[in-house]
A and B are shown apart, each in its own frame.
Chain A
Amino acid sequence: MGYIAVKGGKDAIENAEKYLEFQRLKGASDDLSIGQIKDQLYFAVDRIMSEGSLYAPELAALAFKQAAGDTLEASFILRAYRTTKPRVGYSLPCNTQKMKVIRRISAAFKDIPGGQILGPTSDYTLKLLDFGLEEADNEKRKAELEKLLGDIVNYKDYEDIGELPRVIDMLRKEGLVIENKRAKEGEIFDITRESNVFPASRSASLQTMARGETGGLLLLAYSNVRGYGDIHPALGELRVGYVPVMITHPLTGEPYEIGKVKITEAEIIARFNVEGEKPKFSLGYGVCFGHNEVKAISMAILDRAMAASGAKHASNDQEFVLSHVDGIESMGFTIHWKLPHYVTFLSDLDRLRKAQEVSKK
């Protein structure tokens, strides 16, 4: 008897799951601990928290382990967990000027109030394989750490960097910046509770991008600055650090800090012309959970690109950008073509055979 497609699916699915688990376990290496992933693979953890839109380093590390290092799959697992949690309230608006900065640079100005703070960056590290890391060695690791702590002169002071003024505010004072048209709106849209409608409010737009897939945002932003668009951005400020999350205390009604989250924030500046008015600068804003500079900068470029009037490229089209940047949705749909389609295919086949018959006549 010929092939009867995908029947007897239950056993096959269960066996496939076992085979998958076997793939993760079959190697001779030690089991990965959640702590190891959280401490040593923190960029992956940050990315998963951001794309999965849940700030939970332990759960993100767990998802990463479970997904065997597939960030899309891990973000999806985390998002699917998040969705089961009831919405119990909203945090208060976060003033990122209160950020405890670990990194803060401006490419637009050489000298900025508070100074350029490179912080932890691999920007200037040569991309050479470090063969010193080949052997896992806990003793060596401890010794390296001791040495590093000895080297860092201002380590103690690092905690004490106070609030830093925003670079963009310098331009604002001079009247060189126009505010985003849609910056001032009333109620904040919640994309996890409502379906986006177009044109989307700026809050909906920023939320959608803040949990967008890094690669998707990067592709669209890059297409704009490369030539399919006309944003010529200058990086006004890029910050990485910790901000307090505040809620209204249910009993006292006072603002109350429930914790801190690590975020990356980018502000880009681009020239904006309005007919009959003086040319000014306008801003694009990007922010995301964790340390992910590619994502924050891409988001800022797209925020600005979507505000451009009369531009016709994909990255300028709000509906195009916002409908396609979510990794969990785009990934899910793109891989769904693996599912059986033989009823619809036969229906198409029927039409094709009919059309061929008609054209023969």
Chain B
Amino acid sequence: MNNASEKIEGNNKYNFAFLDENAKKEIRRRILKAIAIPGYQVPFGSRELPIARGWGTGGLQITLSIIGRNDILKVIDQGCDDSVNAVNIRRFIKSVTGVEMTTDTEKATLVQTRHRIPEKPLTKDQIIIFQVPFPEPLRTVEPSEAETRRMHAEADYSRMWLYLYEDIVKCGEISIGARYPVFVNNRYIMDPSPIPRWDIEKLNNSECLNLFCAGREKRIYAIPPYTAVKPLEFEDFRFRTEDFKGKKCEKCGSADSYLDETIDDSDGTRHYYCSDADYCEKNSDNAVKK
């Protein structure tokens, strides 16, 4: 917790971690409520940040509200610490807090992420914060917020099931790529943010606290540690993760991580590399040592 009058060293115009203390307090209260009701979307008075709406302002507000001077922060986008969005967010948080930054997944106390969960399982001493564009999983079947809130309250999820069924009839498969809807604690259907299906399993019974926030849509939700998270599936149509068909990372040789597919400019061939940059680097180091 930070003192209300505490200022950022070298930048006296703004409070520590940018937000004023009242805003942080309010956001922390909403986080507590979200933890108490796993998967439930808690509305909150989302603040504007100097980074545009849709560029991670939800995740940022959580990070700024809970970060303390002794925290060590890792920021990733698409699994990578060096992607423009991650660099930009890290640069901003560094300038308003001065806290230590890391790319090392194990060293971080807080991980802010867009579109991925690190391959290395997070522990009980870590919190992962997801940037969320669409907090409402039912938006696909219902545009009105008033109506989707009612559907959640009554656990009226028939239209979602019907949507999945029709998808199978039309495409022969459930065609949802990323943002695959999940059941949290056997109660709420939740949007896990646009992580690939590959990462869904990591949410189930995870040791770490998972916090989600959509700045533009003004919603906070959470998956507390050791909570059941199950992807929506039918007995005869199971949930399936992305299939890399025996492909492996050309850099570290890993065959058990989510891969980026790139196309070589010169000959048009496809190549595969780990999406999780830190995981790949450590794997490569280990390979060299051996």
Within 8 A of A (CB), among B23-59: 23, 26, 43-50, 52-55, 57
Q: A80-B49, A336-B52, A336-B54 known; A85 and B20 CB under 8 Å?
A: yes
**Chain A contacts for B43, CB-based, 8 A:** 194-195, 197
- Find out whether the CB atom of B171 lies under 8 angstroms from the CB atom of A333: no
Q: Name the B residues within 8 Å of A82 (CB-CB).
A: 48
* Residue A2 at the chain B interface, CB threshold 8 Å: yes
A332 and B172 contact, CB distance less than 8 A: no
B153 at the interface (CB under 8 A from A): no
- Cα A8 to Cα B194 with chains together (Å): 23
Q: A2-B264, A319-B145, A329-B216 are in contact. Are A343 and B48 (CB under 8 A)?
A: no
A343–B262 touching, CB < 8 Å: no
Which of B216, B218, B242 is the one whose CB lies under 8 Å from A347?
Answer: B242
Query: Are B179's CB and A12's CB within 8 A?
Result: no
Chain A residues contacting B70 (CB-CB under 8 Å) are none
- B: interface residue count bin: 35 or more
B1-36 with Cβ < 8 A to chain A: 14-15, 18-23, 26
Q: Are A358 and B262 in contact (CB under 8 A)?
A: no
Is A13 interfacial (CB 8 A cutoff)? yes
| CB proximity of B14 to chain A, nearest CB, Å | 6
CB pair B146 A333 closer than 8 Å:
no
Kindly state the interface size class of chain A when it binds its partner.
35 or more
Bound complex: CA A94 to CA B57 (Å):
33
Query: Are A328 and B146 in contact (CB-based, < 8 A)?
Result: no
Closest beta carbon of chain B to A227's beta carbon, Å = 22
Report how far A77 CA is from B215 CA in the complex, Å: 17
Contact A342-B260, Cβ < 8 Å, known A332-B216, A351-B173: yes
Contact flags (1/0) for B87-119 with A, using CB distance below 8 Å? Answer: 110010000000000000000000000111000
Contact partner of A193 (CB less than 8 A), chosen from B26, B85, B197, B258, is B26
Given A2-B271, A13-B84, A328-B48, does the pair A348, B53 have CB atoms closer than 8 Å?
no
Q: C-beta contact mask, A82-122 vs B, less than 8 Å → 1, else 0?
A: 11111100000000000000000000000000000000000
Pair count A-B, CB < 8 A = 180
Q: Mark A340-351, 1 if CB is under 8 A from B, else 0.
A: 111111111111
B83: CB under 8 A from chain A? yes
Say yes or no: is A32 at the interface (Cβ < 8 Å to chain B).
no
A198/B146 contact (C-beta < 8 A), A86-B22, A346-B261, A358-B172 known: yes
Residue of A nearest to B243 (CB): A350
Q: B233 at the A/B interface (Cβ < 8 Å)?
A: no
A76 to B216, CA, bound (A): 13
Q: Is the CB of A198 within 8 A of B145?
A: yes
For A349, what are the chain B residues with a Cβ–Cβ distance below 8 Å?
A: 177, 261
Nearest CB of B to A311, in Å: 16
Do the beta carbons of B179 and A10 come within 8 Å of each other?
Answer: no
Does B140 have its Cβ within 8 Å of any Cβ on chain A?
Answer: no
Would A343 and B275 be within 8 Å (CB), given that A195-B46, A348-B177, A351-B177 are in contact? yes
Kindly list chain B residues whose C-beta atoms are within 8 Å of the C-beta of A194.
Answer: 43-45
Q: A4, B175: Cβ atoms under 8 Å? A: no
List residues of A (1-28) whose CB comes within 8 Å of B's CBs: 1-10, 12-13
Chain A 305-361 residues near chain B, CB threshold 8 A: 319, 323, 328-329, 331-336, 339-352, 354-355, 358-359
Contact B53 A344 (CB under 8 A): no
Q: What separation, in Å, do the CA atoms of A358 and B22 have in the docked complex?
A: 54
Among candidates A2, A87, A343, residue contacting B78 with C-beta atoms closer than 8 Å: A343
CB distance B84 to A84 under 8 Å?
Answer: no
B176 located at the interface, meaning its Cβ lies under 8 Å from any Cβ of chain A in the complex: yes
Contact of B144 among A1, A319, A334 (CB under 8 A): A319
Closest CB in chain B relative to A6 CB, distance in Å: 5
10 nearest A-B pairs in the assembled complex, by CB-CB distance: A332-B53, A336-B54, A348-B177, A358-B172, A332-B52, A195-B43, A333-B54, A195-B218, A347-B177, A344-B178
A344-B196, A347-B178 known; 5 other A-B pairs, CB under 8 Å? A77-B50, A192-B47, A328-B53, A332-B53, A336-B53
Interchain Cβ contacts under 8 Å between A and B, 26 examples: A2-B264, A7-B83, A9-B84, A13-B91, A79-B48, A193-B26, A196-B218, A199-B146, A319-B144, A328-B53, A329-B53, A331-B53, A332-B57, A333-B216, A336-B55, A340-B83, A341-B78, A342-B260, A343-B194, A346-B196, A346-B259, A349-B177, A351-B173, A355-B172, A359-B171, A359-B172
Chain A residues with CB under 8 Å of chain B are 1-10, 12-13, 76-77, 79-80, 82-87, 190-199, 319, 323, 328-329, 331-336, 339-352, 354-355, 358-359
